[in-house]
Amino acid sequence: MNFKKISIWLLGFLILSIGLYFFAEWQMKKAIAEFLERKVPSHVQYSYDQLDISLIKGNLDFENPVVNNLGRQTSSCEISANMEKIAIKGFSYWRLFLKGEIHATEILLSKPNLTFKTCPADTTTASKGNTPIHLLKPISVNTITLKDGHMEIWDSNGEKQLLNVGTLDFVIKEVATDTEKIKDYIPMEFGEYQFSFNQISGPSGEYEEFEVGSYQMDNESIEIMELEFKTKYTRRELSEKISYERDHVSLKVPEIRIEKHDLTVIDEVLELQMDTVVAYEPFLNVYRDKSLMENPKIRPLYSQLIRQLPIKLQIKGIELANGFLSYEEDAPNNVRPGVLTFENLGAHISNFSNTENEGETVDIRINANFMGNGELDLDWKFDVFDPKETFIISGGLSNMETSTLNDFLVPNARLRAQGTIDQMFFTLSGGDFMAQGDIKMNYEDFKLELLNKERSHVKKIMSFIGNLFINDGSKVDDDGYRHGTMEVERNRNKSFFNYLWVGLEDGLIDVVTGSGKRK
């Protein structure tokens, strides 16, 4: 056989091979289209502009795919997604035919726009959300990548946006599932991952909303930047919309870092564990309009709130660094609200947990500059699983110029104070109904003046009579302290801090008007 015939045979074989390859690709496209038509449920609508296949590389590219799920099999009643491309790379025919496994090197979702609608409250589709998925073959992917995405969640009518994520990206490696794993609460296993969300916003209940500048998460840590939680109405607008007292809040946290987190599921209950959570420079302003009625609803103490969280939570340590807190209270006919401030606020919370570990308590330690000059320290402990909600809180205040309290006392109590609290120490313990404690204080030239209704003049006679009952701090023990006791019944429709405040108020009155002796 001469060279010419060999060349013709080789050329013919090449042409035949190319023809067979394109015929195989055409057949594969047809098979995939028929498979989708046959296997995709009727409540899932889909389309795509073009399907490109490379049998040699094992690649499948769906151009401009659109998917709409009407929600018959999910807890979300409607899911829609459109994107620039779905690319499946490195599909392994070898593992499919020899091992019966579906494997790909990468799945890439490019520029997806994801929209979710929640189910209406009376829907019957939610009961179908637990329908098991019957998987015929194990599936594994080296890497799943979502790039330049956008996500929105709406209510069932599509009228109220519940969550908006401006951009989202993620990479998840070593993803795998099989016929048994697909039935679990978390239906897959995975290795390393990185999530990135930016410009997150949404409502938080009827009156508040939140925004997050960015959220970054991987296997080891979480970083949240520019968190803001606030009342979405002005103070006046909120007062016009509510019947009972409610805090108007504005919280800003420039940075939150979480180290060594882990999420597991045991008996379909989520369990979240974290080593440390640090919030840097949190700024919180709380305002309350006291002209409204008090809410008669019982407010549980923090131990009960933590115990009743919908997930199991265990955080070894929470830190607040260099924070600021202001509390404003506006009584009827006030010219301006009274203000209490806590500067350079620091806090450490140990064992913030609702998992039962015998003998462990939540321990909260707080330090701050109170009203710009007083040095405040608190140590607060409680057992989350104590049905009596018992707690013990102790603390101290030093170098307090009482005149700085006048910003709060004048508008809210029609009182003006003067004098210095050199040192004050207290311990208060109790439960959901009653608390008792001791207090001691070293102070100088403490006086109170009662103001008229307009807060413009001192009622001199009443102030003089009142100060007759106030010891100026001269009758003290050998260490320079006057002593008092605290006993307070809790108003259960008010917060723990009101409970503490009323207790301290009772103790201070006993210190300055009583015998001053240790009881």
In order along its 519 residues, the chain shows pLDDT tens digits of 566 666 666 665 566 555 555 555 556 666 667 767 776 777 788 888 888 888 778 788 899 999 888 665 455 578 899 999 999 998 887 777 777 788 899 999 999 999 988 877 654 444 444 455 666 788 899 999 999 999 999 988 888 899 999 999 999 999 999 888 877 778 889 999 999 999 999 999 899 999 999 999 999 999 999 999 999 999 999 999 999 999 999 999 999 999 999 988 877 788 999 999 999 999 999 999 988 998 999 999 999 999 999 899 999 999 999 999 999 987 665 556 678 899 999 999 999 999 877 668 999 999 999 988 899 999 999 999 998 999 999 999 999 888 887 777 766 556 677 788 889 999 999 999 999 999 998 887 777 665 555 444 433 333 333 443 455 555 677 788 889 999 999 999 999 998 998 888 888 878 877 777 777
Asked if the structure places residue 395 within a domain, the reply is no
Looking at residue 450, its pLDDT comes to 58
Q: How far apart are alpha carbons 512 and 264 in whole angstroms? A: 55
Asked if the structure places residue 103 within a domain, the reply is yes
Among 157, 188, 204, the domain-final residue is 204
In this structure, the answer to whether residues 16 and 151 fall within a common structural domain is no
Looking at residue 348, its pLDDT comes to 97
CA–CA–CA angle 53, 57, 63 (5° rounding): 35
Contact 108, 86 (CB under 8 A): yes
Q: How far apart are alpha carbons 47 and 81 in whole angstroms? A: 11
Looking at residue 461, its pLDDT comes to 35
Contact 370, 398 (CB under 8 A): no
User: What is the DSSP secondary structure assignment for residue 373, as one 8-state letter?
Assistant: T
Looking at residue 208, its pLDDT comes to 97
Asked if the structure places residue 385 within a domain, the reply is no
Contact 232, 242 (CB under 8 A): no
Cα 159 versus chain centre, distance: 25
In this structure, the answer to whether residues 80 and 147 fall within a common structural domain is yes
Encoding tokens for residue 494?
């008010």
In this structure, the answer to whether residues 95 and 45 fall within a common structural domain is yes
Task: Render the burial of 289-313: b for 16+ CB within 10 Å, e for the rest.
Answer: beebeeeeeebebbbeebbeeeebb
Contact 228, 210 (CB under 8 A): yes
Could you read off the pLDDT of 277-313 as tens digits, one per residue?
Answer: 999 999 999 999 988 998 999 999 999 999 999 899 9
Among 165, 186, 204, the domain-final residue is 204
In this structure, the answer to whether residues 102 and 185 fall within a common structural domain is yes
Looking at residue 79, its pLDDT comes to 87
In this structure, the answer to whether residues 22 and 141 fall within a common structural domain is no
**Phi (first) and psi of residue 16, to 5 degrees:** -65, -40
Asked if the structure places residue 518 within a domain, the reply is no
In this structure, the answer to whether residues 108 and 7 fall within a common structural domain is no
| CB neighbour list of residue 51: distance below 8 Å, 6 or more residues apart | 29, 32, 33, 60, 61, 62, 63
In this structure, the answer to whether residues 27 and 111 fall within a common structural domain is no
Structural domain including 8 reads: 1-39
Q: Is 227 exposed, middle or buried (0-12, 13-18, 19+ CB in 10 A)?
A: buried
- The helix/strand/coil state of 5 is helix
> Which CA distances in Å does 285 have to 219, 240, 248?
34, 20, 8
Asked if the structure places residue 47 within a domain, the reply is yes
In this structure, the answer to whether residues 65 and 161 fall within a common structural domain is yes
In this structure, the answer to whether residues 13 and 107 fall within a common structural domain is no
Dihedral sign, CA of 8, 13, 14, 18? positive
Q: How far apart are alpha carbons 288 and 498 in whole angstroms? A: 13
Encoding tokens for residue 470?
């106030």
Q: How far apart are alpha carbons 62 and 58 in whole angstroms? A: 14
Beta strands in 331-433 (DSSP E): 338-353, 362-370, 374-382, 391-401, 415-430
Q: How far apart are alpha carbons 293 and 244 in whole angstroms? A: 5
Q: In total, how many domains does the chain have?
A: 2
Helix or strand holding residue 35 (H, E): helix 3-39
